[in-house]
Amino acid sequence: MADEPTPHPNSTSATSVAEPETTTEDQQEQDFKIQQTVEIKDIGPCKKHVKVTVDRAVIDQQFDKRFTELTRSNQPQVRGFRPGKAPRKIIEKQYYDSVAEEIKSRILMASLEQLAEDQSISPLSPPEFDPHLVSIPKEGPFVYEFDIEVRPEFELPNYKGMKLRRPVHTYTAEEIEAEKRRLLEPYGQLVPKDPPIADLYDTIVADVTISYQGKEINKLSEVRVRVEPRLALSDGVADDFGAKMKGAQPGETRTVDITLSQENPVDYLRGVKVQAAFVIHDVKTTRLPELTPSFLEEHFMVSTPEMFTELVQAMLQRRLEYLQRQAARQQILQQITSASDWELPQDLLRKQARKTLARKIMEMQNAGMTEEQIRGRRRLLEQDVLRNTAAALKEHFVLQKIAEVEKIEIDDEDIDREIERIAEQSGESYRRVKARLEKEELMEAVAADLLERKALDLILAHAVYEDYELKPTDQPADVATVEAQAAPETAASQATTPDTTGNR
C-alpha cells in the first residue's frame, strides 16, 4: 500500500522495464494478442502470486522480425564485411544479447498490459518484480513471476435503502459561546486565575512523575497543559484527564492513568496503563481579545460580533454533518463486513499509515475543526496506528467498490474545485495549496477522498434514517496534547520487566 491504494487497472504494468524507442511498426506489434498462460494463486491476505508463461512462438517471431530488419536496410557494421553484406548468422551471433534485451522489454510490456486487461486483478501497488532478474531463454517459453498486493474480495450488500441511525442536534447559546471562546483563545493572553482552581479549558503548570507497578519510569518538569477532557502525550492517552484535574489547586497532586501506545518500543509497556502524578504549581486562564472590527476581519474575515456568531453557527453545523457522515460510514462498514470478514496484512497497514492519517486530517479540516482540535485527534489516531489504519482502509475499499459499481469518477475539474475550497477555508491562495499538496504527495489522497465522498453521498441519498439526539457524551471529547513521552525508550533501563505472576 507502496503508497495510497488505487483501483487503476493498469497499475500492474508500473514496473521499471526500460521502454525501447518505438516506431509505428513496433506499436502494431505490441497491439497483437500474445499467446500466454497465467496462473494466479492466493498467498495471503490481499496478496497473490502470478506466474506468466509466454509461448515460444511469440519469442521466435520477434527475433525473426528484428534480425530480418538488421540484415536489410538497418544492418549494423560487422567487422570484415561491407555494409549490408554480412550473413544473417553472423549478425545473430554478434547482436543476440542486445536484441534479446530489446525483445524482453517489448514482450514484458505487452504481456503485462494484456494481463491487466484479461485478468480481474485490482492491484494496490506495482508488482514486486525486477525485470533485470529475468532473461529471454534461447529455447522454450519465457516465464516470469511476481507477487502483488491486491484489493480484498468481498460482496457488497444492497447499499441503497440502508437503514441508518443519524445523530441530530440543535446547538444551544451556551454551546455557541463555548465554541467562540475556543476559537478566540489562541489570540488571547494567558493570565493567573483568581481563585486558582482548575476547570475545563484552564491551563495548569505541573511537575509529572510517571510510574509503572509502583516504580518510577519517567519525570517531566514544568509541564504546561490545557485542561481538556482527554490528554494525549506522544506515546499515550489519559481518557479522564479533565475530570481528574477539575478543581485542582496549586500544591495538590492529582493522579491519572495513561494508556501507552501499542507502538511503544519497550515490549512490556505496549498498551499497558501507567500512573502519572501531576503536582500542580500554577493555574492560569485565558483573557480573550476584544472583538474589534479590525481583529475580526484579520482573523475570521467578518466585521461584526453578529457575523462572527453566524460564522461559528455555520462551523458547528458543518461539524455536525461530519459526525453524521462518520456515523453513517461506520454503520455501512459494519453491515458490509458482518457478511464477510476480510483481513488486511500488517505490512500493507504499515505502508498505508502515513497517507491514511493525512486523509483523516483532511476530513477534519473539511469539518471546520481548529488546528488544536485536529492536533489532539491526530495524536489519538497515532496511538494505535494499525487498528485505525485498518478501519480507514476498509472504509476506503468499500466506498471504492461502490464507486466502481456506480461508475462514479473524479475529473480534473473536481480536484480544482476541491483545491479552491481548501484554499478559501485556509485563507491561502489556490497555487500555494496546490503546490503544498503536490509536495506532500497528497493529490492522490484528495482524489480518493472526493471519490469516497461521492460514493457516500449516493448511499446517504437513498438511506432510510432514524434520527436520534446527539448527546454531549456522544461527541468526540476535546484532547489536550503534550509533546513529551510518558515512557521514553530509556524506560527499559529504568524499570524492571514486570513479573506476570504477580510476585515481586
Using one digit for the tens of pLDDT, what is the confidence trace for 417-441?
989 988 877 778 899 989 988 888 8
Q: What is the pLDDT of residues 376-423, one digit of tens each?
A: 667 766 666 677 777 778 888 888 889 999 999 999 999 999 899 888
Which CATH topology does 195-287+480-494 take?
A: Chitinase A; domain 3 (3.10.50)
pLDDT given for residue 494 in this prediction: 47
Does 84 score more than 80 pLDDT?
no
Between the alpha carbon of residue 232 and those of residues 256, 260, 292, 491, the distances in Å are 12, 10, 34, 19
- Greater model confidence, 81 or 52: 52
Average of pLDDT values for 134-142?
91
Cell of 127: 508488482
Bridge partners (DSSP) listed for residue 284 = 192, 203
How far is the C-alpha of 254 from the C-alpha of 242, rounded, in Å? 11
Cell of 91: 549478425
Cell of 64: 525473426
Does 274 score more than 80 pLDDT?
yes
Residues in the chain: 504
Q: What share of the chain is helix, strand, coil (3-state, %, to 5)?
A: 45, 20, 35
Does 4 score more than 70 pLDDT?
no
Which CATH topology does 11-149 take?
A: Alpha-Beta Plaits (3.30.70)
- Spell out the domain ranges in the chain: 11-149, 163-168+291-470, 195-287+480-494
With bands split at pLDDT 50, 70 and 90, how would you rate the model's confidence at 480? confident
Average of pLDDT values for 478-493?
72
Cell of 153: 474480495
Between the alpha carbon of residue 203 and those of residues 275, 345, 365, 481, the distances in Å are 21, 42, 25, 12
Report whether 276 contacts 256 (CB < 8 A): yes
Does 490 score more than 60 pLDDT?
no
User: Does the structural domain 163-168+291-470 have CATH classification 1.10.3120?
Assistant: yes
Cell of 89: 548468422
Between the alpha carbon of residue 381 and those of residues 237, 239, 384, the distances in Å are 11, 14, 6
pLDDT given for residue 491 in this prediction: 45
% of the chain beyond a pLDDT of 90: 38
% of the chain beyond a pLDDT of 70: 83
Report whether 118 contacts 33 (CB < 8 A): no
Report whether 446 contacts 362 (CB < 8 A): yes
How far is the C-alpha of 210 from the C-alpha of 275, rounded, in Å? 6
Report whether 215 contacts 272 (CB < 8 A): no
